[in-house]
Structure 1
Amino acid sequence: MIKQGIEIEHAAALLKLLGDKTRLTMVKILADHDCCVCEFVEIFDTSQPAISQHIRKLKDAGLVKESRRGQWIFYSLNQEYEQFDFVQLLLNALPSQEEKLTELEKQGKRISCE
């Protein structure tokens, strides 16, 4: 059976989760690039615990997944997420966030986990 659209309750919960500017920006970045918490700390110029809280909320919802690479954990958008098509529609309407990663690379902080 092909599911038609998204239920209002699911849409409301997802929009509430993505209603935070930081989380929405994180998801937009993760749509194109895997990132480590330390990179988000630099991009948003905020504390590691604050970034970890945002990541936890995105992970708990199933929107973001993690993978371990050596000592580092990288996060990516979960394309198996039940409402991924809806999320993709939202992300397609947003401006690129490439400049944030480009600036991080210029500063030599693209992957600065230590």
Structure 2
Amino acid sequence: MRVSSVEIDKAASILKLLGDKTRLTMVKLLNNHDCCVCEFVEIFKMSQPAISQHLRKLKDAGVVRETRRGQWIIYSLNQDNDYYPLVRTVLDHLPSQDNLLEELEEQGLRISCE
């Protein structure tokens, strides 16, 4: 089977997105947990606009999806994306990042937007 250059270009684009440490960590966290922008702001100690920019890039590529809960937007990994198996393979080789969410919980900041 011959892989088209469009597929290679899309895979390269997704891998480039995941080449950013912040986005890669976000996706690893979303592999097991849905998260709100406010949680990522606390975890990464970055501004809300910076976090939203990272999430927008991931969403535009179809890696993550958003769900509205009231006035809040919750992000999750998009397992329906054609390239999810590629993303999953990358994530399977990474250590868990759940400790970041556990620290948030200990500080009482887990899902602080609800």
CA shift, 1:7, in A, is 3.7
Instruction: Please list every run of at least 4 consecutive aligned residues from structure 1 whose deviation after the TM superposition is greater than 2 angstroms.
Output: none
Match of 2:9 in 1: 9
After superposition, the Cα gap between the structure-2 partners of 1:85 and 1:50, relative to the gap in structure 1 and judged at 3 Å, is same
The one-character-per-residue Cα deviations of 1:9-55 (angstroms, maximum 9, x if unpaired) are: 22211111111000000000001000000000000011000000000
Name the counterpart of 1:65: 65
Structure-2 separation of matches of 1:107 and 1:29: 18
- Determine what percentage of the aligned residue pairs are the same residue: 68
Partner amino acid, structure 2, of 1:76:
S
Structure-2 separation of matches of 1:91 and 1:3:
26
> Which residue of structure 2 lines up, in the alignment, with residue 76 of structure 1?
76
**Displacement after TM superposition at 1:3 (Å):** 9.3
| Cα deviation, residue 73, structure 1 | 0.8
In structure 2, runs of 5+ residues without a counterpart are none
Matches within 5 A, 1:1-114: 7-113=7-113
CA-to-aligned-CA distance 1:59-110 (integer Å, 9 cap, x gap): 0001110111122110000000111111100000000001000000000000
- Residue-pair matches, total: 112
What is the CA RMSD across the aligned residues, in angstroms?
A: 1.8
- In 1: Cα distance, 2:93 partner to 2:73 partner: 29
State how far apart, in whole Å, the 2-side matches of 1:112 and 1:12 are.
Answer: 35
* Residue identity in the other structure for 1:100: L
